[in-house]
Amino acid sequence: MRPVITIENLHYAYPPLTAGAEAPPVLRGVSLSLASGECLALLGSTGAGKSTLCLTLNGIIPHLTGGTFRGEVWVAGHNTKESDPGELSQRVGLVFQDPESQLFNMTVEDEVAFGPESLALPSREIEARIHGALDMMGIADLRHRPPLGLSGGQKQRVALAAMLAMRPQVLVLDEPAASLDPAGKASVLDVILRLRRETGAAILWVSQDTDQVPLLADRVALLGQGRILLEGKPGEVFAQSSELRGQGLALPQMRELATHFNDRQGGDYAWLTVEEAAHDLGEVIRG
């Protein structure tokens, strides 16, 4: 399938804080691609450059930040260097860790309408998009509420709905559940699952929650030292335990358990989920 995102040998350094100085590059040769309907989980420790990479996808980097940008980023056939961020925002939806940083309207409805209205769509189309986005996020009942009075999980659903109303081909979710409590996390993961099933968009999902990643991602990439250090199916990437640990990342607890068994019994278990482990161990116990 033709990729909807192609990143080729991308190097990027933010502009230096003081004139004349040189800022160290954050990205040092990232290459990555993503197809429609695919969900890629991007792992990496704090400061690895995950959020920077996200901002290159809708052109905020380099158009609004400046800095030194080398390499190519293609999104839905457009080279981001030559495209306007306003136009890219119709193809790429971004949701950040902190939902409050992106909600600014008085009601949920206004929040979700904001994007489609700025495209000057006919009002019937705008209504259809609001309705569809609220419905998919399961928040139709919050439509007339002020976003700031909602719980963290609800706010994040509003931010996701506002993004969906633009019908983007690419969804970039930068640790959308990280700042939420367990109920909020569960609620956001639930909607990511739904987005994956129902929109056909490409999803780039930044997460450090390695217990959740195997449940949702088709593919996993590890960003470190400004490069993609590992990339593959969840099973392949999580098999590289020392590399992941070296990058300051947790392993899925089920993968740790598998390693514990393998080290002591010489097996080759590779569990990532409770399901998988329960299946294998259940068979062994039953004999």
Residues near another protein (CB under 8 A): 45-47, 151-152, 178-186, 208, 211, 245, 248-250, 252-254, 256-257, 260-261, 264, 273-274, 277-278, 281-282, 284-287
Kindly list the distances between the CA atom of residue 154 and the CA atoms of 109, 192, 207, 252, 255, in Å, as whole numbers in the listed order: 13, 13, 19, 27, 31
Give me the least distance between CB of 185 and another protein, in Å please: 8
Of 52 and 89, the one with the shorter C-beta distance to another protein is 52
The pairing of strands 39-43 and 219-224 is parallel
Give me the least distance between CB of 128 and another protein, in Å please: 32
For residues 225, 89, 188, 200, the Cα torsion angle rounded to the nearest 10 degrees is -100
Alpha helices by DSSP H, 137-250: 152-164, 182-198, 213-216, 234-238, 241-246
Query: What is the helix (H) or strand (E) element at residue 110, kind and residue range?
Result: helix 108-118
CA dist., res. 191 & res. 195, Å (int): 6
Give me the least distance between CB of 163 and another protein, in Å please: 23
**The tokens of 134 are what?**
């609220």
Of 2 and 286, the one with the shorter C-beta distance to another protein is 286
Of 121 and 178, the one with the shorter C-beta distance to another protein is 178
Give me the least distance between CB of 270 and another protein, in Å please: 15
Give me the least distance between CB of 212 and another protein, in Å please: 10
Of 128 and 178, the one with the shorter C-beta distance to another protein is 178
For residues 127, 128, 129, 132, the Cα torsion angle rounded to the nearest 10 degrees is 120
Give me the least distance between CB of 237 and another protein, in Å please: 15
**The tokens of 61 are what?**
């980097």
Of 62 and 153, the one with the shorter C-beta distance to another protein is 153
Give me the least distance between CB of 51 and another protein, in Å please: 12
Residue type, 247: Q
Of 185 and 219, the one with the shorter C-beta distance to another protein is 185
In 3D space, the residue among 185, 228, 231 whose CA is nearest the CA of residue 207 turns out to be 185
**The tokens of 109 are what?**
């409805």
Q: What angle do CA 48, 74, 15 make, to 5 degrees?
A: 45
Of 46 and 101, the one with the shorter C-beta distance to another protein is 46
